[in-house]
Amino acid sequence: MNRTLFTNAGIWDATGAATYPGEVLVEGNRIAKVSKGGSRLPRDGAEVMDAAGATLIPGLCEGHAHPSFSNAASTVEIGDIPPEEHVLVTMHNARAMLDAGFTSLYGAASAKVRLDVVIRNEIEAGRIPGPRLRAASPEITVTGGLGDERKMHMHRESFALIADGPDEVRRVTRMCVREGVDNVKINISGDDFIKSAKAAMTVMNDTEIKAAVEVAQAFGRRVNAHCRAGESVKAAVRCGVDVIYHCEFADEEALDMLEARKDRHHFAPGLAWLVKTSRDAGPWGIAPDSPLAQAYARELDAAVEVCRSMRKRGIRILPGGDYGFAWTPHGTNARDLQYFVEMLGFSPMEAILSATRHGGAIIGMANELGQIKEGFLADLLLVDGDPLADIRILQEKARLLAIMKDGRFHKEPRVSGGRM
């Protein structure tokens, strides 16, 4: 059994405690022992890693992951990629997120039915490097909804499966489950770059939502939902959706509903998409003074207000900003944590908790992932500096001195104390 001992580390364990000096012993893929202060752990047969005062934290979790999104400038470009090339794109993107310290990904939606599934299976088999991945379906949408890129006499793929009415939603959901997804995605509301279905519109009805939820629950799967409109948030809560994204236009009634079931739902606002699309997408045709950018700027203001209210209400907020477009490329995901601190009023500790302990919960492994505790899985980051003092250092890959996933180094520290 592989044994690795981290010594001389500042340990931030994601339990809510402050960082403390200590040692962590990893045996196989689990954390075997954690010591505090000057207490020394057994060194026999262990590879000793002298952290030299660096900070050891749990690996991060991306709560709104689209590893099959190709850093493209449009949804149509994502749909145009042939399946063979798309598998390779997804593989490289998954590795890019692991390189950035994200040892777990909760799939929000896949661009094709089996992309997340295939990459998850290859990662779990140890044939390619990548984070733990909960594989998502494509986005199930209605005719005219987010993801329907068709026109009369012109079929066009994007990242969606189109289903109208509860029977069709059931069929498509069952097909996705058959193909091996862990999570099913539905688009209850629209989005402002869609001509027929804007962000404030709720375009999927309760019978369709319930059909997806009933099928997913019967097969032991979760349901994710794109919900910008306030009514779409209420519908998601009412129908039992597990993970709810965006929620910019949630009113007091919607927030009350979420708060009443805050232990049932997970939420990720997608701040990076709003920030970057409204401010930095000019090179890709969305100038900051354009109507679309201004619409997203208004959504950003609304999102900040809603998220601040959610934080006060104790609703779980996770990072995840629709990364995978040209102006939100994969590997920059830790930017969300900076937004949580600077825009939402989170402390750095709260922000990192959202990506570690809450990450373990959204992955469905709250009792063994997302904290540095004895018996937990050894997904660990060794960080040059203190992210509780400066959250931005988690965006600097060079300052991630070591990345361990499942007890094995994806990135091994350059300096080792050697085998003892």
- Name the helix (H) or strand (E) containing 405: strand 400-405
pLDDT digits (tens, 9 = 90+) for 345-369: 999 999 999 999 999 999 999 999 9
Whether residue 147 contacts residue 137, with contact meaning beta carbons closer than 8 Å, is answered with no
What number is the average pLDDT over the span 164-178?
Answer: 98
pLDDT digits (tens, 9 = 90+) for 34-86: 999 878 999 888 999 999 999 999 999 999 999 999 999 998 899 999 999 99
CA 261 to CA 319: how far, in whole Å? 20
Model pTM? Answer: 0.95
Identify the CA nearest to 246 among candidates 200, 196, 181.
200
Tell me: pLDDT of 156 over 90. no
What number is the average pLDDT over the span 194-200?
Answer: 90
pLDDT digits (tens, 9 = 90+) for 76-121: 899 999 999 999 999 999 999 999 999 999 999 999 999 999 999 9
pLDDT digits (tens, 9 = 90+) for 298-320: 999 999 999 999 999 999 999 99
SS3 of 2, please?
Answer: coil
Phi, psi of 259, deg, nearest 5: -65, -40
Total length of the chain: 420
pLDDT digits (tens, 9 = 90+) for 238-282: 999 999 999 999 999 999 999 999 999 999 999 999 999 999 999
CA 76 to CA 90: how far, in whole Å? 16
Q: Return the amino acid letter for 140.
A: I
SS3 of 232, please?
Answer: helix
Residue 415: the pLDDT is: 56
Radius of gyration of the chain (CA): 21
CA 126 to CA 124: how far, in whole Å? 5
CA dihedral 291, 201, 322, 371 (to 10 degrees): 140
CA 228 to CA 93: how far, in whole Å? 26
Residue 250: the pLDDT is: 97
Q: Where are the alpha helices (DSSP H) in 112-197?
A: 115-124, 166-178
CA 417 to CA 420: how far, in whole Å? 8
SS3 of 63, please?
Answer: strand
Whether residue 197 contacts residue 203, with contact meaning beta carbons closer than 8 Å, is answered with yes
CA 392 to CA 390: how far, in whole Å? 5
Mean pLDDT, the chain, integer? 95
